[in-house]
Amino acid sequence: MTTLKERLTADLKDAMKAKDELTLSVVRMLKSAVKYKEVEPGASELDDAGIQQVIATLIKQRRDSVEQFKAGGRPELAEKEEQEISVLQRYLPQQLTPAELTAAVQAAIAEVGAKGPKDMGAVMKNVNPKVQGKAEGKAISEEVKAQLARLS
């Protein structure tokens, strides 16, 4: 089983050989972001989970850019950002389906004994470690909010 870092290096070489400009630029950007995170004061070498957090951050930035480009009437730039998102998602674990996310949130609500929206923090603390990297934070919080709203 190779580490995510080794996979990135191999994919970078493959993209160079295949002259795949999109993958090449995205993998270079990702490796740069990982290196930048590792040289921050107090940081150490990132493991796979740390790299996945960097990827999730980059995807979130791209999603924000897509919205702004669409609002600004720049569909070609939005399309480029969406292509970058699809390349980045290759390095994340299989994402949860909406049904799996709903089930995970329901289990967390039962474990915590949540009664309504005021218990959102406790539910998020419980569910986040279980679905880390398998679902976006925004999707998790929206699902938790929706289910807690139904309880009250």
Residues in CB range of 2: below 8 A, 6 or more apart: 10
Residue among 18, 4, 19, 1 nearest 88 (CA):
4
User: Cα separations (Å) of 33 from 14, 42, 123?
Assistant: 20, 16, 31
Q: What is the DSSP letter of 96?
A: P
Digitized pLDDT (tens) for each residue of the chain, 152 residues in all = 578 999 999 999 999 999 999 999 999 999 999 999 999 888 788 888 889 889 989 999 999 999 999 999 999 999 999 999 999 999 988 888 889 999 999 999 999 888 888 989 999 999 988 888 788 888 899 999 999 888 87
Read off the pTM: 0.79
* Whether the Cβ atoms of residue 140 and residue 129 lie closer than 8 Å to each other: no
